[in-house]
């Protein structure tokens, strides 16, 4: 028999769109956990019962940390128009072992603009999108509750009962951080490296992302093959005769990234090049094509008219 925590839709979006000579970023994070359902976990994993937009010092700290993190790869970029919304429900503690444990979720939506002065050559503007990959390591807060340094603030303590579970005959607990099996000796370091605001796993160059085009909308979108986020899991198993009962206790976030730009843009490594002439060349080529078509049509009409006049003259000559 297998009893496991339900796996809710945990995907989030990290979407970057080029428009009006700036990049608009919408980052939706949907993390969840049921670690607090394990006996002995008495702390928290995510801040509980939140529903607010960051403002004042909290928003200012987020903005400062975001810009600092982004500028580690591209020093000239700036961030503005930041808004951040956070929401969460309450955790459930000490769930019965006869049913899945309800999950706690934590949602964060950040929207902001990234401004970058591109290099312009031959009518093309080239942007360095290396800034898409960054990690915020600061202790960001909302109403005095930390929400970014999840590993250090919460998970190190929450995992103690799991990594110290007394394995014995017919029962075992396996704890993993990501894909790394850990013990009560080795789990602290990788756990402390878990941050909510982290895109450092975007390691595939932009030019190797999956590309799709929407001709009707005049846009094209690159989608990253990399999966981002974190996963801390304890898998508790009881074996009796030929029956295995499993309980999974998890703190998890996974999401993907995409970058959109006008049709005609192209990527090389992590650089994105777009037309900087206001589509002058496309408009010129279109005008030339229209003029050429008109000249062709006029030529055809003239040739037909000449051919018709010649046939008319032959018929008149024959009548005489």
Q: Which domain holds residue 286?
A: 279-320
Q: Is residue 6 part of a domain?
A: no
The answer to whether residues 168 and 306 belong to one domain is no
The answer to whether residues 192 and 312 belong to one domain is no
Domain count, the chain: 2
> E-strand spans in 90-227?
104-115, 119-121, 124-128, 141-142, 145-146, 171-177, 180-182, 210-214, 219-223
pLDDT the model gives residue 8: 44
DSSP per residue over 50-107, as a string? -EEE--HHHHHHHHHHHHHHHTTT-TT-EEEEEEEEEEE-----S--TTSPPPPEEEE
Dihedral sign from CA coordinates of 277, 279, 281, 284: negative
Do the Cβ atoms of 167 and 183 come closer than 8 Å? no
DSSP for residue 241: T
pLDDT the model gives residue 55: 96
Pairwise CA distance, residues 35 & 232, whole Å: 9
- Mark the ranges of the chain whose per-residue pLDDT is less than 70: 1-12, 97-100, 278-296, 298, 302-320
The answer to whether residues 121 and 171 belong to one domain is yes
Ramachandran class of 52: left when φ > 0, alpha when ψ lies in -120 to 50, beta otherwise: beta
Pairwise CA distance, residues 27 & 46, whole Å: 18
The answer to whether residues 179 and 76 belong to one domain is yes
Of 206, 201, 177, 213, nearest to 256 by C-alpha is 201
The first and second tokens of residue 223, run together, are 């989608």
The answer to whether residues 288 and 258 belong to one domain is no
The answer to whether residues 115 and 18 belong to one domain is yes
Instruction: Render pLDDT for 119-146 as a digit per residue (tens, 0 to 9).
Output: 988 888 999 999 999 999 999 999 899 9
The answer to whether residues 261 and 248 belong to one domain is yes
The answer to whether residues 274 and 289 belong to one domain is no
The answer to whether residues 169 and 308 belong to one domain is no
pLDDT the model gives residue 7: 42
The Cα-based distances of 84 to 19, 67, 197, 200 in angstroms read: 21, 14, 12, 20
Q: Is residue 7 part of a domain?
A: no
Place of tokens 């005049």: 218
Do the Cβ atoms of 114 and 23 come closer than 8 Å? yes
Beta bridge partners of 174: 235
Q: Is residue 8 part of a domain?
A: no
pLDDT the model gives residue 25: 97
Residue 85 CB neighbour total at 10 angstroms? 16
The first and second tokens of residue 149, run together, are 């340094």
pLDDT the model gives residue 280: 40
Pairwise CA distance, residues 95 & 4, whole Å: 12
The answer to whether residues 239 and 148 belong to one domain is yes
pLDDT the model gives residue 77: 94
Q: Is residue 66 part of a domain?
A: yes
The answer to whether residues 180 and 134 belong to one domain is yes
The answer to whether residues 250 and 286 belong to one domain is no
Q: Is residue 3 part of a domain?
A: no
The pLDDT mean for the chain works out to: 86
Q: Is residue 183 part of a domain?
A: yes
Dihedral sign from CA coordinates of 86, 35, 193, 149: positive
Q: Is residue 4 part of a domain?
A: no
Beta bridge partners of 16: 25, 259
The first and second tokens of residue 309, run together, are 């006049």
Q: Is residue 33 part of a domain?
A: yes
The Cα-based distances of 210 to 148, 214, 221 in angstroms read: 30, 14, 8
């Amino acid at each position: 028999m297998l009893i496991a925590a339900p796996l809710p839709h945990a995907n989030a979006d990290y979407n970057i769109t080029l428009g009006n000579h700036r990049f608009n970023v919408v980052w939706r994070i949907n993390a969840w956990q049921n670690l607090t359902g394990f006996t002995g976990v008495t702390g928290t994993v995510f801040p509980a019962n939140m529903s607010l937009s960051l403002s004042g010092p909290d928003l200012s700290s987020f903005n400062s940390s975001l810009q600092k993190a982004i500028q580690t790869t591209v020093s000239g970029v700036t961030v503005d128009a930041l808004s951040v919304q956070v929401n969460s429900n309450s955790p459930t503690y000490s769930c019965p072992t006869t049913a899945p444990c309800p999950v706690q979720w934590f949602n964060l939506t950040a929207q902001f603009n990234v401004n970058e002065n591109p290099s312009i050559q031959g009518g093309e503007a080239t942007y360095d999108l290396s800034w898409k990959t960054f990690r915020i390591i600061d202790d960001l807060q909302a109403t005095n509750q930390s929400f970014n340094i999840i590993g250090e603030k919460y998970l190190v303590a929450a995992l103690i009962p799991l990594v110290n579970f007394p394995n014995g005959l017919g029962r075992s607990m396996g704890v993993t951080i990501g894909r790394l099996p850990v013990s009560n000796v080795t789990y602290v370091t990788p756990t402390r490296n878990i941050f909510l605001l982290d895109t450092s796993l975007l390691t595939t160059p932009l030019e190797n992302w999956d590309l799709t085009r929407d001709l009707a909308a005049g846009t094209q979108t690159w989608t990253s093959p990399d999966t981002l986020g974190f996963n801390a899991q304890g898998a508790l198993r009881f074996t009796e005769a030929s029956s295995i009962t499993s309980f999974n206790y998890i703190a998890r976030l996974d999401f993907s990234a995409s970058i959109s730009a006008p049709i005609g843009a192209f990527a090389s490594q992590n650089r994105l090049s777009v037309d900087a002439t206001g589509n002058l060349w496309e408009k010129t080529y279109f005008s030339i094509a229209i003029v050429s078509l008109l000249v062709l049509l006029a030529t055809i009409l003239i040739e037909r008219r000449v051919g018709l006049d010649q046939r008319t003259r032959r018929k008149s000559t024959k009548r005489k």
